[in-house]
Chain A
Amino acid sequence: NAGVTQTPKFQVLKTGQSMTLQCAQDMNHNSMYWYRQDPGMGLRLIYYSASEGTTDKGEVPNGYNVSRLNKREFSLRLESAAPSQTSVYFCASSDTIKTTSYQETQYFGPGTRLLVL
């Protein structure tokens, strides 16, 4: 049981390049999330997916797109990277079916460090 996995762990991009960050979870969770973490800040929500086939904007969605490929996978795409998108990106998942005492708790992946030059 690997939990939440993210690839790549580290990436350097040039301004204007595109890339996709991958996330997968094996906990059969319904909801998945993408956050970014900048120095001196807590995590801020970019996009989330409450269930397979649905996605919604979070606090800072501009410059990003997401795809909920299936229940396990939730990808984040940068179409034209900008230096302001240099950050650490975290994927998380949670089970919003109210059957367990740990419902609603989000479990995080190890993060992807992205540097845009």
Chain B
Amino acid sequence: AQTVTQSQPEMSVQEAETVTLSCTYDTSESDYYLFWYKQPPSRQMILVIRQEAYKQQNATENRFSVNFQKAAKSFSLKISDSQLGDAAMYFCAYRSAQGGSEKLVFGKGTKLTVNP
């Protein structure tokens, strides 16, 4: 079974600075998807960024980018120019690309605090 590990329960960053959140996963599959979701105090789960395992190029969405290291099974999230609104829980998630494997496997999350 696949597992997702977020080794940093909490992180903090100064406003306008850069922070990197870590995620590692364990799988024997070669084709899969990886996601970062943000959960602000409102509890809504918001998709931040996604990565297809077959793509070598790291995904980027504005201030958010990932460092995807397939061989190392690592998928870190970098937030540049941090803003107060970035404060939230961040969850890394894995999804198999095999048909019928619909579920997302989540890590336990990293709480990000942004200091003004």
Within the complex, what minimum Cβ distance (angstroms) separates B95 from chain A?
Answer: 6
Within the complex, what minimum Cβ distance (angstroms) separates A60 from chain B?
Answer: 11
A43 within 8 A of B: yes
> Pick the contact of A48 from B35, B37, B102, B109 — CB < 8 Å?
B102
Count chain A residues whose beta carbon lies closer than 8 angstroms to a beta carbon of B.
28
**Bound-state Cα–Cα, A33 to B95, Å:** 13
Q: Mark A50-76, 1 if CB is under 8 A from B, else 0.
A: 100000101100000000000000000
A106 within 8 A of B: yes
Interface positions of B from 25 to 84, Cβ below 8 Å from A = 33, 35, 37, 42-47, 50
**Bound-state Cα–Cα, A45 to B100, Å:** 14
A88 within 8 A of B: yes
Enumerate chain B residues within 8 angstroms of A56, measured Cβ to Cβ: 102
**Bound-state Cα–Cα, A107 to B50, Å:** 12
With A50-B100, A105-B35 as contacts: A42 and B45 at CB distance below 8 Å: no
Closest to A43 in B: B106
* Residue from A42, A94, A102 having most chain B Cβ neighbours under 10 A: A42
With A42-B91, A42-B109 as contacts: A106 and B43 at CB distance below 8 Å: no
> Pick the contact of A110 from B44, B95, B108 — CB < 8 Å?
B44
Listed A/B pairs (11) with beta-carbon separation below 8 Å: A33-B102, A42-B93, A43-B91, A48-B102, A58-B103, A90-B45, A105-B33, A106-B35, A108-B44, A108-B45, A110-B44
